[in-house]
Each structure stands twice: as C-alpha cells, then as structure tokens.
Chain A
Amino acid sequence: MSAQKADRVFKRFFSGGNPEQKVIGQISEHIRILSSAADVLREGIEKNDLDLVASVADLEREGDSIRRSIVSLIFEGAFLPFLRPSICRFVEISDQVFDDIEDASVLYRHAAPYVKGDLRENVLKIAALNTHMCEMLLIAFESLFSGGDLREKSLAIRVYEKRIDEIKFDLLDQVRTVEPATFWDGRSLARFIDYLTHVSDAIEDASDYLQIINVSLR
C-alpha cells in the first residue's frame, strides 16, 4: 500500500474524509463571491447599468447555496464543537452582508435617477470601500489558516468602516437636499443609502467574529 493510500485510509477511518478543508474552501468561496457582488454593485452604479446591478441577485443566490452547504457540513461534524458556533455565526453575518448588498442593488433601480452629483460621488466612494472591505475580510479569514497577523487586518477593516462613517454623515446631509417625485422614490433612496452604508457595519461584525474564532482555542 502506498503512503498516500495509507494516509487516505487513516483519514477515512478516523474522520470519514476531510470536511474541515471543505468548509474552509467554501467559506473562502463565499467571501470571494461577496467581494464580486460588492464590486458588481459598484461597477453597475458607476456605469449606471441597471442590468449589471440586477445581476447581484444571482450572486446572492449562489452565496446562499454555499452558506447552506457550509452549515450542513458543520452540522455533520466538521470542526471541534468548541469552534462550530463561532464559525456558523461568522458565515451568517457574511450572509447578512450579502443581503444588504442585494437589497441595495434592488433599491438602486428606483433610486438611480436621484443618485447624481456629489451624492453619486459619495455613493461610489462607499461602494468602492465596501469592495475593499470584502477583500480585506477574505485576507483576514485566510490568515486563520495561513498564520498572518489577524489584528492588522481587523484594524484595516475598522479604518475602512470609520471612513465610510465619515462619508455617511455628508451623504445624509446631501440626501436631505434631494426632492423626490413621490414618497416611494424618496423611501427607496433613503433605504438604498441605509443598506449601502450598513454593509460596512456587518463586515466589521464578521471581522469581530474572526477574532473570536482566533482566540477560542487559545
């Protein structure tokens, strides 16, 4: 029996495969798709391409199916029980980010005519920062198995979040000057901005959960 085959038999006997590797791979994939969704939203707003913005929903569905697979793998016994709740919570919060991006993309369809001038510039800045935050979240997650300094990445996420908060105050002032044609247009614009600015809060929460995972076995 070759060494590789013996190793495979050993692994199968003791763990019935390697669900942990699958979960890690799927979480990375989940965050990668999240990054793509944030970037598609940014690009859609930048080009004012409503079809492109609408395609965020497809990415969200893909992310949802990966989330379900991750949760079921953890339920089947991936990872030590001590880690499972924090990993599940992290995946749920990442999925919340997906929902926020999707809701922002849906509402943009109605808010688009009012997103112009300085308001548009700030919206684009936030959308770009959201993309960077998603990329940083992926790097932070990868440091849990590659051994990088997680604190550095968490700090970067907090800095991005602070910048978005600063822009958010300007944005709220600017949005008050907009005169929507109907109540529903105004409501869509306000909620679009709410969802867009909430993405960074959810990413920051997800990053906090990475810290919890990181210290839970120490």
Chain B
Amino acid sequence: MLEYLPILACMLMAVGMGSNDTSNAVGICIGCGILKLKRAILFFGILVLVGIVMQGERVMRTVGKDIVQVDMAVLSISCIVAAALIIGSNWKKIPLSVLQVLIGSLAGAGAGAGLEVNYGKLGQIVFSWVVSPFIALILANLTYRGIERVLSRYPVFSIERTLRVLLLASSSLIAYNLGANSLATILGPVVHGGVLGTHQAFLAGSLFVFLGAYFLSYRVIDTIGKGITALDPISGFTAQFSAGVCILLFTFLGMPISTTYCIIGAISGVGFVKGMGTVRKELIVKILRNWILGPSLGFGLCYFLMLLLAVYL
C-alpha cells in the first residue's frame, strides 16, 4: 500500500504541471487564434507523451538515480513533501518550480536518511538552473535580432502567415520539452525507485498531465495567452523558441531545468533588445527569491522529516 503514496504524489505533481505549464506551451497559440482550446490541449498532451518517450530517459536517470539511490522511505517522503509544497504554494499564490522543489526534497530526504548524496551531480544541476535562463536570454537576444532582420524583407501578410507557423513550432517545442524534461523529472524517482515501470510511468504521467491541462489549465491559458499576444507575436515566438532550444540542449545533457525560468530569461533577452526599461526588475527579484525558497524548503523539510523518522521508527 505504501508504494502507492509516491505514485499518487507524482501524479498529483503531473496534474499540477498540466494545469500550470500548458499555458507556457500553447497559451500564445490559443491567444492568437491559431489553435482552439480543446485541440490545443490534445496537441499538447500528444507532444508531452512524444517528448517523454523520445528523450525522457536521461533526465529521469539524473533525478531518480544520479543524485541519490532512492529507497522507499526517501521516495515516499520526498514525493509527498514536494507535492504538498507545490499544492500549498499554489494555494498561497507563491509560484515555486515543481522540479526544483522535488530535487531539493530528494537531496534533503537522502541526506536525512544518511544515504550517499551525489553533491557533484547536485552542483551540476544547480549550475544548470543558474546558467539556463542566461543562455535563454542570449539565445533570445540573437534570435530576435536575426528574425527582425529576416522578416523585415517580406510583405506584412507573409510575415503574419510565417509567424503563425513559427508560433505553432515554438509551442510544439515547449510541449515536447515539458515531456522530455519536466515530466521526466517528476517520474524519475518513481521509475528508478522501482515502484512503476518505465512505460507505465510514461503513459500514466502523460495522462495525468493531460487531465490537469484539460480540467484546470483554461484560466491560466486565458490570462497568459491574452497577456503575451497583446504585446507582440515576434517577441512571443522568440521567447518560446529560445527557451525551447535552451531546454532541449539541457535535456540532451540530462539536466532538469525550469521551463518557466527559461521563458522569463528569454523574455528578458527580448527586453534587452528593446531597452532596459522594458525589463521589470522587481519581478526578477521575486523570481530569485522563489528560486532559492523552493529547493531550500524541500531540502530542509525532507531532511528533518527523515531525521524524525529515524528517531521514532
């Protein structure tokens, strides 16, 4: 019975991912009228499944095996704490990254249980979190300059048609990465902890992401879709595309990184092209605070819970 608890927690996180991150992928396409909501969610669900099947293995191995060799107690505590923190932070409207909380929790639970935590790998992951938004920023800066130069040669209605295709492609890239990187991060511990088979995990994870997207994502999509497209479609495409390429790069390296932070980095990159005034510095400070808060909370809570378990059991 106990082995179902981490599975349940992971599936809850998958639902949370579906409800929150669908907007990162298809919000702009819905806002632009390229895809209708239901078609977009179906399209998103299929690409998430394709992503995890094609490339999920490396990230799953990093999270589930390379940081710490999980046992049932570590797995249960870390997944339950991570899920509870994500639900609680959503309720309190503090945006925490699922993968950062989960990795912090895994490392904390492992350290609390006295298991050998691979701090070298953990350092590499944290380094990826630090550099990935900056890589997305540089990519976005270069992409924006390039695309502006190329598109300015064409008639406006041809640009419009091209942008529709490009927006669809960048949305697909983000949806694919959500499967290959974010969902792989969530499923890594349960697969390598031996409580769920790889193929079962792929199907169940994708199904729960789809359910989260289908039943819970529409409000976020509405806000993000209209919010982004009201700015300008070239910036929207650049942000998605650059973040997508950056995440894909780290997926090849097996590093779990945050889609949202990469998109924020990429949007800042576009902002730098247009002038520093367009970058909201208070938002960057808020993100930085949550960036430290998420993994630290996960680590601390799991560490002390494992110590308590060791004392009382």
By a beta-carbon cutoff of 8 Å, the part of chain A in contact with chain B is 13-16, 20, 24, 77-83, 143-147, 213-214, 216-218
Residues of B213-235 at the interface with A, using a CB-CB cut-off of 8 Å, are: 229-230, 232-234
Closest residue of chain A to B35, judged by CB?
A14
- The answer to whether A20 and B148 have CB atoms under 8 Å apart is no
Partner of B160, one of A14, A79, A146: A79
Task: Give the Cβ gap from A198 to chain B, nearest Cβ, in Å.
Answer: 28
Given A16-B36, A145-B158, A218-B152, list of 6 further CB < 8 A pairs? A77-B33, A80-B233, A81-B31, A81-B229, A143-B155, A147-B158
Main secondary structure of the interface of B (DSSP, over half): helix
By a beta-carbon cutoff of 8 Å, the part of chain B in contact with chain A is 31-36, 39, 148, 151-152, 154-161, 163-164, 168, 229-230, 232-234
CB-defined contacts of A77 to chain B, threshold 8 Å: 33
- The answer to whether B32 and A144 have CB atoms under 8 Å apart is no
CB-defined contacts of B161 to chain A, threshold 8 Å: 20
Task: Give the Cβ gap from A212 to chain B, nearest Cβ, in Å.
Answer: 10
- The answer to whether B39 and A13 have CB atoms under 8 Å apart is yes
Closest residue of chain B to A142, judged by CB?
B155
- The answer to whether B155 and A218 have CB atoms under 8 Å apart is no
CB-defined contacts of A214 to chain B, threshold 8 Å: 156
- The answer to whether B157 and A80 have CB atoms under 8 Å apart is no
Task: Give the Cβ gap from A77 to chain B, nearest Cβ, in Å.
Answer: 4
CB-defined contacts of B36 to chain A, threshold 8 Å: 16
A124 to B56, CA, bound (A): 75
CB-defined contacts of A146 to chain B, threshold 8 Å: 155
- The answer to whether B33 and A24 have CB atoms under 8 Å apart is no
CB-defined contacts of A79 to chain B, threshold 8 Å: 160
Closest residue of chain A to B230, judged by CB?
A81
- The answer to whether A217 and B156 have CB atoms under 8 Å apart is yes
- The answer to whether B160 and A83 have CB atoms under 8 Å apart is yes
- The answer to whether B168 and A144 have CB atoms under 8 Å apart is no
- The answer to whether A217 and B163 have CB atoms under 8 Å apart is yes
CB-defined contacts of A145 to chain B, threshold 8 Å: 155-158
A83 to B34, CA, bound (A): 14
Partner of A14, one of B155, B168, B232: B168
- The answer to whether A147 and B160 have CB atoms under 8 Å apart is no
- The answer to whether A82 and B159 have CB atoms under 8 Å apart is no
A214 to B155, CA, bound (A): 8
Task: Give the Cβ gap from B27 to chain A, nearest Cβ, in Å.
Answer: 13
Task: Give the Cβ gap from A19 to chain B, nearest Cβ, in Å.
Answer: 9
A-B complex: 8 closest residue pairs judged by Cβ atoms: A77-B33, A145-B157, A147-B155, A217-B159, A81-B229, A214-B156, A80-B32, A218-B152
- The answer to whether A81 and B32 have CB atoms under 8 Å apart is yes
Task: Give the Cβ gap from A85 to chain B, nearest Cβ, in Å.
Answer: 11
A107 to B159, CA, bound (A): 44
CB-defined contacts of B151 to chain A, threshold 8 Å: 217-218
Task: Give the Cβ gap from A137 to chain B, nearest Cβ, in Å.
Answer: 16
- The answer to whether A144 and B157 have CB atoms under 8 Å apart is yes
CB-defined contacts of B33 to chain A, threshold 8 Å: 15, 77-78, 80-81
